[in-house]
Structure 1
């Protein structure tokens, strides 16, 4: 899709041309418009397209399977009005400002904190709303914003369950090294990981800062070989995670566990690394086997079944988190009994309900409640992804220690 092309799906758009009041507030239109941008091209497109498919799945289901949504006694259909921001924060900001000027009131987030940060600043200043599953930087939630909500916990609160898993391995993990990219999300996540690890008695041997854009990590991997940690933790985005894993293979840098918070969950990771992708550990905020259910889609498995029947792109948890943004908007509007923005904002702030994605509840700062919406740990085992933590949701035992690269068949 050309990055300048406006993506529109859902109900007919004849009622969206008058721009006097926010589009979402025009009950007579009987259409709820969700605006925003998403990386359909560029470096963040691999995951951006996953989030987009989740948005599309929710709109398709509500329109076609539910016949719309009833709010305040009136049934409305849904539509998406999303631009390709090409993974470019400046472009995204321009597009979002244009939609604010056109009267859009409900926004969905892009993917990546570097894009969500400037765009949520625009929507906040304009009195609009954003529910998003693409930005976890602490900066999004610690600067006094009251109209931005994140499905994920903020970055510094995302590692509690990971330390639980590491401490439960046998032999127990004693040492780790951490590599992170210096971007608004990864640095906060790495800081939170270091704090949690050290508080639980795990020694952090290395804490290595990479540039936001990096093309070679061989010098860093020399340090890792010398330190020889039990676990290498990478709080890096998809393509950087692939780069690190590839160069670990080529330099024969072996650790007992490679844990990358983003990357191993994607189809691209498996294609890029082949047999070497096996045993990589990652975070996942949802899985079809999770015991969640609610009014939209039904259970977690039914969401997965519906998605797979209607979309070709392979399932990842970002599809579910994207769909949950729209479901959360709708549940808040139903509880408010209106599409008026301030009323929906207040309902979002107080929301506490269960759906196919889990129990949705936000902190007073707008990020996902870490005790309810924190990550599970997934591991690539052969051609599939297995839940290895928490124990009560696990579908397989962790492969630990992982075989050396030279021993993988």
Structure 2
């Protein structure tokens, strides 16, 4: 039963609510997991500042598990085994998340691990999987730092953060009028720092003049000073690496200050249906990127294809999946494929199978590099008429962007 702190327990004292929020969310058949079940464990953000994105992982994990179980489960040693999920709410608290992953391994005795959302969480939580030698497959952390430590038990299905703006910078060189000046803004967490470190040399190579290179505090709510600088410097392009709440605040304050560069692009938010709902018409003209779109060309063993996955996801949960959800589902599929390839649930054998795995998923082809990460190309997208449009990919323009962005008063 999923615990929703404020809705199900409105009258409980605060200290008891906190205890319940951290309680296990068991997504499994009624009762404890059967001995023959394969128990997967995870801690994700279901409350706190990034809960809106955390829910993608909870929902994707459960949908994938349900789908695989409906097809008979995972075949090991000639027998079919059902999957079960032990899930905790880390309340968007890194320290709590580490404690919960430790509990999953030492007390709950999970067989394998799925990851949290956000790079700073994956950085910390993967130390638990490394310590106890239990493989973790995560699709919520993209920071290059996660995979630079030569850990053996962490595998990631997000493309490297250092290349998130790669396709966007390529597109900038083809725009007319060609932009000249760029502001690079990024939050001070592991993911966004990696984005900035990877983007700087790309901008230099493209011959673009970086007139602002500014770090801001994670969960920042006030962008007025940075926006005033963007306006006074007459910046053409603004690239912002941050999380969805930060991006929403940035756009709202840009409107209030009448700041409209020729183009702005964000690492997260834009692919999400919630982003467009939250901003309404003000979401128009925003650029972003995604490694996944629900295409029938992405064939899948369990769902058929990515479009079918998206249909089933929305039917079950009432909102559209984005790449976070697709990567989360692929994480479950990767563990199942590795168990079957290894014909075992032994953590070391599954780890070795993951290291050489190669299969097609609803998210795209899964094959981890020596560091444990995959590298799917980022597609540039834009909100046009409050709908998501695919703009630029590996073969160039797919659709013409709405560029330059008009002044707020001219919309």
TM-score of the pair, normalised by structure 2? 0.91
How many aligned residue pairs are there?
392
Alignment partner of 1:6 out of 7, 10, 24: 24
Query: What is the rounded CA distance, in whole Å, between the counterparts of 2:192 and 2:296 in structure 1?
Result: 27
Residue 184 of structure 1 is matched in structure 2 by 190
Measured against aligned partners, the alpha-carbon deviations of 1:3-25 in whole angstroms (never above 9, x if no partner) come to 22322223455456xxxxxxxxx
Tell me if 1:96 matches 2:101: yes
Residue 381 of structure 1 is matched in structure 2 by 384
Query: What is the rounded CA distance, in whole Å, between the counterparts of 1:33 and 1:386 in structure 2?
Result: 39
Query: What is the rounded CA distance, in whole Å, between the counterparts of 2:305 and 2:396 in structure 1?
Result: 15
Alpha-carbon deviation of 1:394? Answer: 6.5
TM-score of the pair, normalised by structure 1? 0.91
Measured against aligned partners, the alpha-carbon deviations of 1:295-315 in whole angstroms (never above 9, x if no partner) come to 121111111122223221332
Query: What is the rounded CA distance, in whole Å, between the counterparts of 2:395 and 2:305 in structure 1?
Result: 18
Query: What is the rounded CA distance, in whole Å, between the counterparts of 2:227 and 2:53 in structure 1?
Result: 26
Alpha-carbon deviation of 1:235? Answer: 0.5
CA contact under 8 A between 2:295 and 2:305: conserved in structure 1?
A: no
Residue 403 of structure 1 is matched in structure 2 by 406
| 1:267-278 alignment, distance < 5 Å | 267-278=273-284
Alpha-carbon deviation of 1:113? Answer: 1.3
Q: Which runs of 5+ in 2 are unaligned?
A: 6-20
Measured against aligned partners, the alpha-carbon deviations of 1:336-379 in whole angstroms (never above 9, x if no partner) come to 121111111111111122122111111211121x2xx1322221
Report which stretch shifted further, 322-331 or 5-14: 5-14
Residue 82 of structure 2 is matched in structure 1 by 77
CA contact under 8 A between 2:74 and 2:339: conserved in structure 1?
A: no
Alignment partner of 2:336 out of 327, 330, 337: 330
Measured against aligned partners, the alpha-carbon deviations of 1:103-129 in whole angstroms (never above 9, x if no partner) come to 223111111112111111111111111
Over aligned residue pairs, what C-alpha RMSD do you find?
A: 1.8
Distance 1:231 1:340, change over 3 A: same
Query: What is the rounded CA distance, in whole Å, between the counterparts of 1:47 and 1:213 in structure 2?
Result: 14
Alpha-carbon deviation of 1:392? Answer: 4.8
Measured against aligned partners, the alpha-carbon deviations of 1:288-333 in whole angstroms (never above 9, x if no partner) come to 1362103121111111122223221332221111101001111111
Alpha-carbon deviation of 1:249? Answer: 0.4
Alpha-carbon deviation of 1:67? Answer: 2.4
Query: What is the rounded CA distance, in whole Å, between the counterparts of 2:149 and 2:394 in structure 1?
Result: 35
CA contact under 8 A between 1:47 and 1:266: conserved in structure 2?
A: no
Query: What is the rounded CA distance, in whole Å, between the counterparts of 2:396 and 2:112 in structure 1?
Result: 34
Query: What is the rounded CA distance, in whole Å, between the counterparts of 1:217 and 1:36 in structure 2?
Result: 34
Q: Which runs of 5+ in 1 are unaligned?
A: 17-28
Tell me if 1:55 matches 2:58: no
Alignment partner of 1:45 out of 18, 42, 51: 51
